[in-house]
Structure 1
Amino acid sequence: MESTLGQRVPTKKKEIRGVGGMAFTELWERFSFYGLQSILAFYLLYELSEGGLALPAAAAAGITGAYGGSVYLGQLLGAWAGERLISPRSMVLGGGIVIALGHITLAVAPGFLGLSIGLVMIIFGTGALKTNITSIVGFILDAEPAAKKDAGFSYFYMAINTGAVLGPLTTGFAQNQWGFHFGFGLAALGMIIALIQYVYSSRFLPVRASQVTRPLSASSRRKATAIALVSLAIVAAASATGLLKAERLSTIVTIACLIAAATYFTAILRSTKVNAFERQRIRSYLPLFLASSLYFGLLFAKFTAISLLVNDRVDLTVGNWSFPVGWITMISSASGVAMLPVAAAIWKRMGPRQPKAGTKFAIGLVHIGLGFAYILLISVAHHGSSIPFVYIVIFMFIMGSSEIFVGPIGLSLATQIAPKAFTAQMVAINFLTLALGSSLSGLLGQYFTAVSNDAYFLTIALGAVIAGLSLFAVRKPIHQGLYAGIEE
């Protein structure tokens, strides 16, 4: 097989380079995304004298959750465009450029207007990039058995979490030393590195990555353009009339995510291009979709409710030094990075004997529920006083380590059970669990502002553990349908 440089590259080595290139691209893209995400809530909360925007806590939680949800919701549009309009390879490149411009806007444009423009650009850019780069990895690993796919996606997910560690580590330090806009600038730099990495490694991608698999007809293109223009007009009108208040954003995005999910599932299940086995797998995936959405709502609470807790009750002072707020969320991702290689090795070694997806999801929910039970005990023990940050460090480690049972498994599962006619859409539906989780985290953050800390953590801990145990109880019928027609 010929490379673009005319050199003969063995197919297996080219596949390894392709996955590695996409992993490193994703590492730097996540560096920029989580670098921003780690300090966003604090930028909204901090006083003007501290370089922030001084918004109320409920508004800050609503914006943070809605932003995260919109980023993932936009990936539905990106997945569709990558299959009907522009090749996945080109979508990733164009999306990366828009993301970089969005971060640069945040770095140089002050105030709420600069924030709004920058976040909107990142939403659209990430929508174009994220599902398409995951689809490309799926193309590369297409011929591998399920166990190797799980291992491959676990390494890909490790790259994601590595970026999620390095981003907050550097932007959090920059924000702590020189202010928020320096942190935003570092996030922009990370995205520029991602673009350079992608351009270099894209020559090792399979031909399928450069193809539009289901191109639209001319009439359908005109219809899609009209729908896009009407949608933009509706959003602009809602914004101008004050309907898009900060406190409502998470609710609006949650409703939009639920509508999108219902539309996608209905379209796939009713399609004549889906056979009986594929339809059975999609129906069995529904409870896992809901479980994953709930899980990510709890995990992403680190950007909303836990950020509010840190801002109000956690003592970040270590001697004469202040622990950067952006480093708090980094701990969660760092624990995921530490555990993922271990999990990947275990899944690979166990092969077909490893727990199936429903069991892993159930373990993840119980795991994170126990994490919230732990922070409940800490909150009760330090009632009326500051919480030492070492306890938050332990809590974030518990949260992050639970992700090995849900995140990479969901990515792999989406590519395994996807109907042949809806491969990109199934990847997008998997990311829709992140959209619902993010917007749910905004609602949970607003709930955090309305009740006592102890009541909040008790509710979350019980809800997660009960949900996990319930899923475990019905895992066998779920698995029978989930793997129907698939040789494992």
Structure 2
Amino acid sequence: MASTPTEAVIPRIADSGTGKTFFGQPRGLATLFMTELWERFSFYGMRALLVLYLVAPTAKGGLGFNLATATAIYSVYNAMVYLLALPGGWAADRLWGARRTVAIAGAVIMVGHFLLAVPATVSFFVGLVLIAAGSGLLKSNISTMVGHLYEGPDDPRRDGGFTIFYMGINVGAFVAPLTIGTVGEQVNWHLGFALAGVGMALGLVQYLLGSRHLSKRSDAIPAPLTTAERNGLLRKAGFWSLLAVVFYAIVVLSGHFTINWAMWPLIVAGLAIPAFYLLRIKQDRDLNAEEQSKMTGYIWFFVAAAIFWMIYDQSGSTLNIFAEQNTSSTLFGLGFPASWFQSLNPLMIMALAPVFAWLWVALARRAKEPTTTVKFAYGLLLIGASFLVMMLAQAAASDGTRVSPLWLTVVYLIQTVGELCLSPVGLSVTTKLAPQKYASQMMGVWFLAVTAGDCVTALVQLAGANIDSQSYFAFQGVLALLAGVAVVMYRRKVVGLMGNVR
């Protein structure tokens, strides 16, 4: 987030509690590690159930939506989580500070999950809104708080601390479908959602109890709102909220309301806001020629990332449905629920991330490490290949045969390797190409690539694409392959725009 004028007067202490450490790291890392683990446990556990619950017949306790609507709801929900990371960062910088914002986020997420556990459609969608809002608040600030634990970017423990922290993400994501998924699918949908709420409650309690170990910098409000700014914000928020209430009241009372009336405005916003942000930064006259050139280069990476996430984020929607409807639920004689497939990606990340970290270093020593553009191309080619494999899996299941679980295992393996080529590199290149004026905002812009990709998916799904067809997977797979080829073909042009960044 934004660099703060108050940092100079706030002590840069590594640990404000006792002398105890956490794997040689500041004690506060344990608090943030467990908070993130439980938040990811609740997030990925609920996500593993979401589409399955939406399409399940009402006779089986579900909401009975058709496939296209259910997957579009999932895509829009996921897009909003990343879109709301922008106001989440603003809230910490202008209103509450990072520590208080994360506490508020945890409470909002917890309430949202418990609302999902109430067997009523209205409370279910209110719960989704709260989880998306809370996740946006938390996502944009908890990583910043990890950075606050260290004495600047040159602290030798810093990289190791972030590695441990991100392990918490994947541990939570791995365990969640195995527990929440099992309870939701095999016992009761709403009990599964309640279990996600219990997980977030545990994370919130330990966060509040362990917050004394966090850095004092996490309490700071970098640029507090003035009274005039606060009053102006309240007036604008009140006006737009009232306008939305009146509009939707008219739609509901006239008998025309459907779920599409809620989704289409969000899809439009999810596509327009990223375009607006990029255009605003690109046209800023305060940027010098070099920064303008780097932003032009960054747009290439942004579009490539949006295409990547458009496919990758369907793991919890179209691939989850394929697992439930078209994939055998037994392996070596052992049965398991469809949601268990959602544990494959975090498991593979934990297994392969250290290998890739070693590989890039080893290649760099031999002056053979691929450039950023080539790594992005690898990511696009792999994500495209994964959907071509899905096309073959869909063909194998077209006669009603349940295919082997190995099909989805191969798809997730290819996607995970693609993620490791593109995602960490994307985070890095975002910070390197960011204009100085927008250094603190660019990470939020990177998240908007996920929003844009998910909104394109929702757009395609609501437009009537046949989701359980071979052509659905083939078209997107070929699109990603062509994007990867384009990045390779124009890599010299992109490198030229990047200036001294490689």
TM-score (norm 2): 0.85
**Structure 1 pair 462/153, CA: closer, same or farther in 2 (3 Å)?**
farther
Given candidates 92, 98, 104, the residue that maps to 2:108 is: 98
Distance 2:300 2:210 in 1: 37
**Structure 1 pair 134/322, CA: closer, same or farther in 2 (3 Å)?**
same
- Bigger relative contact order, structure 1 or 2 (CA pairs below 8 A, ≥6 apart): 1
Q: CA deviation at 1:459?
A: 0.7
Q: Counterpart of 2:133?
A: 124
Q: Which residues of 2 match residues 361-380 of structure 1 at below 5 A? A: 361-380=376-395
Answering whether residue 405 of structure 2 is matched by residue 405 of structure 1, we say no
The SS at the match of 1:387 is coil
Q: Aligned partner of 1:165: which letter? A: F
Q: CA deviation at 1:81?
A: 1.8
Answering whether residue 75 of structure 2 is matched by residue 65 of structure 1, we say yes
Q: Which residues of 2 match residues 78-93 of structure 1 at below 5 A? A: 78-93=88-103
Q: CA deviation at 1:408?
A: 2.7
Answering whether residue 210 of structure 2 is matched by residue 184 of structure 1, we say no
1:15-40 per-residue CA deviation (whole Å, 9 max, x = no partner) reads: x5555643442222111111111110
Distance 1:200 1:347 in 2: 39
Q: CA deviation at 1:444?
A: 4.3
The SS at the match of 2:84 is helix
Q: CA deviation at 1:286?
A: 1.2
Q: Which residues of 2 match residues 8-407 of structure 1 at below 5 A? A: 17=27, 21-107=31-117, 109-138=118-147, 143-144=152-153, 156-199=165-208, 202-240=211-249, 241=251, 245-247=258-260, 250-271=263-284, 274=287, 276-316=289-329, 322-350=335-363, 353=367, 354-390=369-405, 391-407=407-423
Distance 2:347 2:321 in 1: 21
Contact 1:98–1:122 (Cα < 8 Å) also in 2: yes
**Structure 1 pair 317/342, CA: closer, same or farther in 2 (3 Å)?**
closer
Q: Aligned partner of 1:478: which letter? A: V
Contact 1:63–1:249 (Cα < 8 Å) also in 2: no
Given candidates 440, 458, 461, the residue that maps to 2:477 is: 461
When Rg is computed on C-alpha atoms for both structures, the one with the higher figure is 2
Distance 1:218 1:345 in 2: 52
Q: CA deviation at 1:136?
A: 3.2
Q: CA deviation at 1:479?
A: 3.6
Segments of structure 1 that go 5 or more residues without pairing to the other structure are none
**Structure 1 pair 28/18, CA: closer, same or farther in 2 (3 Å)?**
same
**Structure 1 pair 232/330, CA: closer, same or farther in 2 (3 Å)?**
farther
Higher helix share: 1
Contact 1:169–1:330 (Cα < 8 Å) also in 2: yes
Distance 1:136 1:359 in 2: 32
The SS at the match of 1:450 is coil
Contact 2:397–2:403 (Cα < 8 Å) also in 1: no
Q: CA deviation at 1:363?
A: 0.9
Contact 1:88–1:209 (Cα < 8 Å) also in 2: yes
Contact 1:88–1:136 (Cα < 8 Å) also in 2: yes
Q: Aligned partner of 2:412: which letter? A: M
Contact 2:310–2:453 (Cα < 8 Å) also in 1: yes
Distance 2:480 2:158 in 1: 28
Contact 1:365–1:468 (Cα < 8 Å) also in 2: yes
Size of the alignment, in residue pairs?
483
Distance 1:234 1:332 in 2: 42
**Structure 1 pair 139/251, CA: closer, same or farther in 2 (3 Å)?**
farther
Given candidates 477, 481, 487, the residue that maps to 2:493 is: 477
Q: Counterpart of 1:437?
A: 453
Moved more, 328-337 or 151-160: 151-160
1:69-100 per-residue CA deviation (whole Å, 9 max, x = no partner) reads: 11211111112222222212221121111111
- Please provide the CA RMSD for this pair: 3.3
Moved more, 249-258 or 135-144: 135-144
Distance 2:95 2:75 in 1: 30
Q: CA deviation at 1:314?
A: 2.8
| Percent of aligned pairs sharing the same letter | 29
Q: CA deviation at 1:389?
A: 3.9
Q: Aligned partner of 1:290: which letter? A: V
Q: CA deviation at 1:52?
A: 0.7
**Structure 1 pair 411/135, CA: closer, same or farther in 2 (3 Å)?**
farther
The SS at the match of 2:225 is coil
**Structure 1 pair 202/415, CA: closer, same or farther in 2 (3 Å)?**
farther
Moved more, 344-353 or 176-185: 344-353
Contact 2:320–2:339 (Cα < 8 Å) also in 1: no
Q: CA deviation at 1:292?
A: 0.9
Q: CA deviation at 1:131?
A: 0.9
Distance 2:113 2:313 in 1: 21
Q: Counterpart of 2:7?
A: none
Moved more, 225-234 or 87-96: 225-234
Q: CA deviation at 1:158?
A: 4.0
Contact 1:28–1:193 (Cα < 8 Å) also in 2: yes
**Structure 1 pair 398/426, CA: closer, same or farther in 2 (3 Å)?**
same
Distance 1:73 1:138 in 2: 22
Q: CA deviation at 1:189?
A: 2.0
Q: CA deviation at 1:46?
A: 0.4
Segments of structure 2 that go 5 or more residues without pairing to the other structure are 1-12
